[in-house]
Structure 1
Amino acid sequence: MTVSDADLAAVEQQLGRTPRGVVAIAARCPCGCPAVVRTLPRLPNGTPFPTTFYATCPRLTGAISTLEASGLMREMSQRLQEDPELSAAYRRAHEDYLRRRAELGEVPEIDGISAGGMPDRVKCLHVLVAHSLAVGPGINPLGDEALAALPQWWANGCCGVQG
């Protein structure tokens, strides 16, 4: 896997800091800018980093934050407790996340820990949406649901890099 210098520069501008451990652009916004990066499970400074798929687009992350503030995570977590089929699908999403992270290397400190609250609760829609954008629909049911609830964050032009 490789990531271009131009993409790393775009992500740096999006984040306002140097990106760490990026190995790929996992998803792009419709305008072409990076939306989600794929990161190493151990950052260059040695820190374990369970968030394999990390949303970088400021408009995307802002829209996701608005969803989080609406109480959607609490409602999703409640549904996980009540709906065995949804719970099983979310557990499969957790296993998919772990498998994809393991492709980048094993980190014993975070073994079995995915991100976003998976597999038992929802604690970060940013991770779930990033996972859905990176791997496509049908893998993370709650990520797909949150993604469908988002407005078109890219609608007013390029969502990322300003010259």
Structure 2
Amino acid sequence: MSERSDFPAQEPEPVTEADAEAVSRQLGRPIRSAHAVAWRCPCGQPAVIETEPRLDDGTPFPTTYYLTCPKASSAIGRLEGGGVMKEMTARLDEDADLADEYREAHEDYLARRAKLGDVPEIDGYSAGGMPERVKCLHALVGHSLAAGPGVNPLGDEALEMLPHWWKPVSCCDEQAAAE
């Protein structure tokens, strides 16, 4: 398993043509309305994309931090399949301090999205079930990676449960070799 120190905060970077190509390979479709690379995997590839709150076609898009790495997504899917979300949601009901920290993570998410634009249709909605439940670990991990340690307690916990998905090679290197 990993330690949170494996995932330091990073400054968002403009999306380069190479980044867009990598993310398109990761997702199996063209990248949409990307604002920045919010976090790079230790292998150097984009892993979290900061997405505009309104897609180019006008559709409101509440998922500001979109996890793109298929190896990370697969590892997170295994956590979700193992019942981690249900356990985390139960803890929110039992632990007032955790619930307060999770609400603060929700507020942080909203504040970060507001810097990208105002979309009234999604006002007050963050991602991943915040602030009352855990609905999607992918969204929480994306937020945790983009914001850095200590911002999203449940995203941080999920990261600590993950193996080193970027080893032995990155997802884009594997996909490029298969083409």
Q: Partner amino acid for 2:71?
A: R
1:83 matched to 2:95: yes
Partner residue in 2 for 1:55? 67
- After TM superposition, give the deviation of residue 159 of structure 1 in Å: 2.5
1:145 matched to 2:157: yes
Give runs of aligned pairs for residues 115-130 of structure 1, distance below 5 A.
115-130=127-142
CA distance in 2, matches of 1:143, 1:3: 24
- After TM superposition, give the deviation of residue 160 of structure 1 in Å: 2.3
8 Å Cα contact 1:29-1:154 kept in structure 2: yes
* Counterpart selection for 2:33 from 21, 30, 43: 21
- CA offsets, 1:74-114, max 9 Å, x none? 00000001100000000000000000000000000000000
8 Å Cα contact 1:21-1:40 kept in structure 2: yes
Partner residue in 2 for 1:68? 80
Give runs of aligned pairs for residues 90-101 of structure 1, distance below 5 A.
90-101=102-113
8 Å Cα contact 1:10-1:34 kept in structure 2: yes
* Counterpart selection for 1:36 from 48, 53, 57: 48
Question: What is the CA RMSD across the aligned residues, in angstroms?
Answer: 0.9
Long gaps (5+) in structure 2: 1-12
8 Å Cα contact 1:58-1:160 kept in structure 2: no
Q: Partner amino acid for 1:129?
A: V
8 Å Cα contact 1:29-1:159 kept in structure 2: no
Identity %: 63
CA distance in 1, matches of 2:47, 2:14: 16
1:2 matched to 2:18: no
The alignment covers a number of residue pairs equal to 163
Aligned with 1:160: secondary structure? Answer: helix
- CA offsets, 1:1-39, max 9 Å, x none? 631111001000100001111011111111101110000
Find runs of 4+ consecutive structure 1 residues off by over 2 angstroms: 159-163
8 Å Cα contact 2:26-2:171 kept in structure 1: no
8 Å Cα contact 1:138-1:144 kept in structure 2: yes
* Counterpart selection for 1:11 from 23, 31, 40: 23
